Structure 1
Amino acid sequence: MRLSMTQAIATHEEHAVQTGVVLIPLNKLKKSPDNVRKTPHTKAEIEALAASIHAKGILQNLVVAPEFLESGAASGFYFVTIGEGRRQAQLLRVKRKQIADSEPVRCVIDTGNDAREISLDENVTRSAMSVMDEVEAFAGLVDGGMSVDVVSRRFGCTVRLVEQRLALARLSPKIRSAYRKGDINLDVARAFAINDDHAAQDRVFRQFAKPITHAASVRNALTAGRIPAHDRLARFVGAEAYEAAGGHLVRDLFEVDIVFFDDGELLQRIASERLDKMREALTAEGWGWVETLTGHGQVEGCAGERLHPTQRKLKAAEKKEIGQLEAKVEALDAKLEDAEEDNPLWTERDEAEAKLDALREATLLFDAKLMAHAGAAVAIDRDGRPVITKGLIKRGELKTIAKLRKADEARTGTRSGTSNSADEAEETSAGPRFTKALTERLTEARTRGLRANLAANPTVALGLLVYTLMRQSADRSSVPGVGIEARAIGFDDDDAMEKARISYAEKADEDELAFFAACIDQPTEKLLGMLAVFVAETIDLTHGGVSFDDKRRQRMGDALAAALDLDMTRHWEADEDFWSSAPKALAVAALETSPAIAGLGEQERAGMIAAFQKMKKAELARTAAQTLKGAGWLPDLLITPSREGAFAVTAAGANAIAESQAA
């Protein structure tokens, strides 16, 4: 029963309840209904209190008020007005069997003050300890001989939290003073802790206008010259191999994902050694030369032509295993449709796809005589994965290869080094993964763009028609994704093509012979225009990116897009829905190259990229959609490749053009 304070005092006097400092059994203490703190203590707070009490005892008495029955008699229980957190910490210790539930607790019985008022007073009038005072006090304990482990146990916090406090305590006196003055905030102070060198901290502090509020800029300035862990070379080598070779990693105690490789030369040496082993393996295959690229460069002096392998006939066991793996990848894609990037099923899918690629590659054979005059290149993609490109031909070897091919053709009657399945051997970058469903969505969008452009380009449509009919006549082989058999493929086309198709098709409702005669009488230019529309209507290059046929469709789409100079930015743009389905790694990579981020300094850009990597997928999807809107970004599946012989502007060329325009 709850009584007013006047009633409680009167009852206390009548029944002689003990006052002052007393020891009360823990199981006689209750949570007070008058405690104004309605938001409960967190689990971590209670655990920290329990650890502190276990190490040092209860340093501050609890304030309690007696509970009275309706009769006015004391119940023997007490409401905790001040110290509810300590009561809960003791209950946790009971649960851990550190104390009995009858453990005596030192309390002050207060019947002279209003319980609500003193509860409010306790929570409002006290002031929090300064962060710098706190961290310096922790450092004092360690300097006094207490280990980090002991401090963490006695204060009920993690070792990492103690190390974070010690890192702040080790900041230069100037930085700690700046925090106390308000010249930097706590996030900036944490950023200064990335480098223990006081001189470097003070130098960077002088470089910025006060107050300093941008932690990433400070961190970037203090890590200049170090290699971020998200760098392609760092990902290729890996932290474990780097440390095993004696390398030192600089980890941000306050940001788990921020790690730097301290020794760039060691990182480069390890990467070069790995690439050398890959070079040796490729040389052993019979390639005339092998180049390795650790940066963003490209092999110089290569012609547009490439060697292509032929595919040997698959054995029954190989066909079966490939079919099983394709089915497994497709099933995993279905499960991963809306999965996060860290879902363990992605690893299982990668392993299955790698095995599938290895089986396919084992069936592809290059001509040994031609290989001796061609080469291969090993590069590292943005995710740190090696990308091997085979069949590269230096311009100086073109004549030699042509002579070898001609001699082989004269001897066998067949073309050497080429085949109908050559497109299956083209190397592709091991970029971020797409599920089958997302690949189908992207290639469906590309098909829509191809059909629209083909309908407006009679020359390419005529060429495609002749090419398809010749293939069917010569070896009865089909062209992937092209259904020219007087059979239209229904599709959600854009308005312009749909109107053209309807306007021409309406005339087919006339008398058959009259319509045929009308077609014959049309000018060639008009017939070509009609032909383009109806050839375009046979195109469907949608695929899931899994099977051999899917890869052939992608190659055919690339060739057709190049012939049409297809600009997919006019037909498609990455929206939030796309980014929600795409891998996080792709979104981060796209943002990294966006105009808004690419224009930043190296260190600031690294900080932004690290922030993107920490975002939840939904937040990252919104950020990517907003940042890249109107930027013309396209995934690799939708990029139109340059036609052979076409000019491509390199980064150096773009800079030269910009300089000439500025002049």
Structure 2
Amino acid sequence: MATAIQKITLSSSRDIPFNKLVLSQANVRRVKAGVSIEELAESIARRGLIQGLHVRPVLNGEGQETGMFEVPAGGRRYRALEMLAKQKRLNKATPVPCVVSAANATILIDEVSLAENIERAPLHPLDQYRAFQAMRDKGMTEEDIAAAFFVDVNIVKQRLRLASVSPALLDIYAEDGMELKHLMAFTVSHDHARQEQVWEQIRNSWQKEPYHIRRMLTETTVRASDKRVVFVGIDVYEAAGGIVMRDLFESDDGGWLQDVGLLDRLVSEKLTTIADEIATHGWKWVEAAISIPYGVTHGMRAIKGVPLDITEEDLVARDALQEELDRLTAEYEEADELPDEVDARLGEIEASINAIDNRPVGYDLDEIAIAGVFVSIDAEGSLFVDRGYVRSEDEPVKLADETAQEDDVDPETGEIRPPAIQRAVISIGGQSVQAEDEEGDGIRPLPDRLVMELTAHRTLALRDAVANNPHVAMTALLHKLVTDAFLHHAAAGCLDANVRHIFFPAQADELKDSSSAKSVTDRHQRWSDHIPADDEGLWDWLTELDDGVRMDLLAHCVSYGVNSLYEKVNPYGGSGVSEHGLKVRLTQAGRLARATGMNMVEAGWRPTVGNYLGRVTKARILEAVREGAGEQAAQLIDHMKKGDMAKEAERLLADTGWLPEPLRAIEPEAEAASLERADENLPAFLAGDDAIVEPKDKHFAMIAAE
């Protein structure tokens, strides 16, 4: 005989006036968590009571119902209703939907309260994202959704961005196939096909870090902090139809620009417009490029401009600004941190003073007619206009005749030889670098051109260091003169002692914007403003200088002859440098670096994808990271492709002070070994650490200054 199954009886529900309800002391919730009472009250005011309360009759001492009901489940909803009643937004007698359990029920009231709280299933995050998207699709704005759920509008934007990821990846996330942090990384790109492609590449790899996903999705884009973007402006780029990829979950420095071709076109158009406007002022030529190489003005004469007279109004304004600057500086001199408004004001004052001091410069119209202008973008993305350079072929014939030297005249015909012209090689697209063959990656020798570029950085920093150390500059000069005198090098004219400005046959794009280049250029300009143009006037001016100023000027002139460039040696003689000559050159450079205390890290050099890491093999990259950041850091990237490895290595090495071999200090032991044979040829009082043999080939040798 079958046993009858006992049927379940559900508690009845009815509306009970709010003033007949009291909060049960058996409610298990004691700690505040989740949505606040205030937010819940606003939700009830907007949407009504979505879920009723669970109540039980309150009994008196005799076990009789009193007409009051206690609330063991729904305490937060009760508190929210109570708040609305106190705010006069809810009538105290308003009926409240309630489920009423029997007063004599066998289930403890505490059990009811606990079960109501722990048995609720939390909403999956993806359901929330999709719900937000559905509300927006039905006409609600992001601000409306944020107001409805009492959250910041940025949170709504983040949830909507998560819902916009490829549906295939959302399904994988829903099935716990990826973590939320991975889904957040995929929101950087709107390209569903690319998102899915990246996931296929990494899904079976242990390397699934969010930064790796972001890098793969943005590898063909341009950072918003790129100087080209700053120059053009993101607003202009977007107005032209360009797309900016943003990361709503991590700091992205303004995002990434997806259409690189459009950006380069906008940059070219803006530079062309500026160049055309400058050309209307009468200049013979204008060259515009994203970056102008360092030393491009070699062989050109710089014409002098005269700053326009400052007006009385500008003088008064400058004095007032300087007075305010001095007052604020004194007032906040002891402060650990400046208030934002004070910091902003100081920046405004300094910018205004610089604008007055750097007044427009006027040039002679005859000079303008034969001179030109370079237009480029500096490292911060600002327009840089360098005016007033005359090419050799544009010099008046009379000037060329007057300044012709003996070496400039053809001995057979007696005619003046045409001047050598060094033309700037300018490319808006930048210098192309051929990718290395990935097969057989190992610790190969560094490419010759890369070493030349690195040593160009070193040479420029060394020039700056020598120019700032007159004692070392004087020693180098005396060393050259004594070497010439005692080793009987041929001399010509009254005094064959000069410094030939060494220029770089190869250089990295960022060399012009380096701190060393700016320091050398600024110092040269300061001297140029005072040096007389005629020979007799120059002699008189030099005679009147005090010894300290003369030493500073000497150091600056000597520094231009410093040459620590690596070159590929010519084993067959002729033009170029010999192997011995190159060793002597680099050894001398190491000695000068130690004497001046020059350090390439302090000079501002940092390893980047462009200047080193993207130009060497994977083994070289790993070696650099291992030396600079440790073995564990190297293990983090040893499985990556070369492009990704180089980018991540740049981040890992950013603040480590690591330098490639051509930029490291040369130890004295190595120097002594390379100079051992040279010491044998010098007089006894010169033999030792300061001895040097001038390279037989003088193509790039350092020559002393008068």
2:266 to 257, 270, 273: 270
1:369 maps to a residue whose letter is D
Q: 1:390 aligns with which of 370, 387, 391?
A: 387
Instruction: Summarize the alignment of residues 273-288 of structure 1 with structure 2, pairs less than 5 Å apart.
Output: 273-288=269-284
Alignment of 1:132 onto 2:126: yes
TM-score (norm 1): 0.54
- Quickly say closer, same or farther: Cα 1:283–1:146, change in 2 above 3 A: closer
1:460–1:563: 8 Å Cα contact kept in structure 2?
no
| Match of residue 628 from structure 1 | 655
Say if 2:200 is the partner of 1:206. Answer: yes
2:377 corresponds to which of 377, 380, 388: 380
Partner AA of 1:360 in structure 2: D
Give distance in 1, aligned partners of 2:48 and 2:133. Answer: 22
Q: Residues 410-421 of structure 1 correspond to what in structure 2 (within 5 A)? A: none
Which of 236, 245, 248 is the matching residue for 2:231?
A: 236
1:353 is the counterpart of 2:350:
yes
Which amino acid counterpart does residue 375 of structure 1 have in structure 2?
G
Larger Rg: 2
Specify the code of the residue in structure 1 equivalent to 2:235.
Answer: E
Measure the CA separation in 1 of the matches of 2:153 and 2:476.
Answer: 68
1:86-144, Cα deviation, whole Å (9 max, x unpaired): 45655676688754577665556888777877666555554433222333344455567
SS at match of 2:388: strand
Deviation at 1:189, TM superposition (A): 1.3
Shift of 1:290: 1.8
Aligned equivalents of 1:53, 1:114: Cα separation in 2: 29
2:50 aligned to 55, 59, 78, which one?
Answer: 59
| Aligned twin of 2:454 | none
Residue 309 of structure 1 pairs with residue 302 of structure 2: no
- Give the count of matched residue pairs: 479
Q: Distance in 2 between matches of 1:317 and 1:377?
A: 32
Aligned to 1:227: 222
* 2:18 pairs with one of 5, 11, 25: 25
Q: Secondary structure at the match of 2:126?
A: helix
- Cα deviation 1:563-592 (Å, max 9, x = unaligned): 8966887579779xxxxxxxxxx99x9999
2:597, 2:69 → 1: CA distance? 73
Gapped regions of structure 2 (runs ≥ 5): 1-11, 405-461, 480-526, 531-536, 563-591, 616-620, 622-640, 661-697, 702-706
1:176: how far off?
A: 1.8
Amino acid corresponding to residue 386 of structure 1 in structure 2: L
Which residue, 38, 47, 54 being the options, matches 2:31? 38
Q: Is the 8 A contact 1:370 1:401 kept in 2?
A: no
Aligned 8 A contact 2:129 2:163 in 1: yes
Q: Secondary structure at the match of 2:49?
A: coil
Aligned ranges 1:60-139 → 2 under 5 Å: 60-62=51-53, 82-83=73-74, 85-87=76-78, 89-90=80-81, 99=90, 105-106=96-97, 126-139=120-133
Whether the aligned pair in 1 keeps the contact of 2:466 and 2:556 (CA below 8 Å) is no
Matched, 1:169 2:163: yes
2:178 aligned to which of 176, 184, 187: 184
Distance 1:366 1:606, change over 3 A: farther
Say whether the 8 Å CA contact 2:28–2:110 is kept in structure 1.
yes
Distance change >3 Å, CA 226–CA 400, structure 1 → 2 = farther
Q: Cα–Cα, structure 1 residues 360 and 155, in superposed 2: closer, same or farther, change >3 Å? A: closer
Q: Assess if the C-alpha contact under 8 Å between 1:471 and 1:478 holds in 2.
A: no
SS of residue in 2 equivalent to 1:268:
helix
In structure 1, runs of 5+ residues without a counterpart are 1-18, 408-445, 486-534, 540-554, 576-585, 613-622, 634-644, 649-663
In 2, the alpha carbon distance for the partners of 1:401 and 1:209 equals: 74
TM superposition shift of 1:209 = 3.7
Residue identity in the other structure for 1:244: A
Distance 2:172 2:614 in 1: 30
Paired letter, 1:206: E
- Residues 57-82 of structure 1: CA deviation (Å, up to 9, x unaligned): 22234457999999x99999998765
Contact 1:377 1:390 in 2 (8 A): yes
Q: What secondary structure is seen at the aligned counterpart in 2 of 1:235? A: helix
What is the alpha-carbon root mean square deviation over aligned residues? 5.9
CA displacement at 1:155 relative to structure 2: 3.5
Write out aligned runs for 1:337-348 (5 A).
343=340, 345=342, 347-348=344-345
| Match of residue 619 from structure 1 | none
| Alpha-carbon distance, 1:175 to partner | 0.8
- Distance in structure 2 (CA, Å) of the matches to 1:452 and 1:362: 29
| Aligned counterparts of 1:214 and 1:321: Cα–Cα separation in 2 | 55
State the identity %.
23
CA contact 1:26–1:105 (8 Å) conserved in 2 = no
